[in-house]
Amino acid sequence: MHLLAIATRTALSFFALCMLTVPSKLSAHEPCIQLRAGICPHKIIRSVTTKQPEFANKALCICISDFKELNDENLSEERRNELVQQVKDKYALDEQTLYNLLNGR
């Protein structure tokens, strides 16, 4: 039992050390772009081509589960605009940057 306690303590110490040495660029993706208030079940982190300098060359996190609806060809223009506007209002992300982020461009 004593060995288990030592192993656990060692693993936790290593994890804490790793968290302190993570480059700041890797943590630049938070908060995640999402519509929900809770935890996102499916996030991706990527950089995109954009004319918005505040998002260029940065790791951006997006909850793609919240935006599956945008890929629906039967989605009304009104609903599409509503979703895009929510992102604009909350994250100052323009429509083209949002689509580039969702589509990996």
Given a cut of 50, whether residue 101 has pLDDT beyond it is yes
Across the range 31-60, mean pLDDT stands at: 90
In terms of pLDDT, which residue wins out, 72 or 22? 72
Given a cut of 50, whether residue 14 has pLDDT beyond it is no
Residue 98, Cα to own-chain centre: how many angstroms?
12
Q: What are the sequence ranges of the domains in the chain? A: 25-103
pTM: predicted TM-score of the whole model, two decimal places? 0.65
pLDDT tens digits for range 61-71: 999 999 999 88
Strand (E) positions, 25-101?
43-46, 60-63
In terms of pLDDT, which residue wins out, 71 or 23? 71
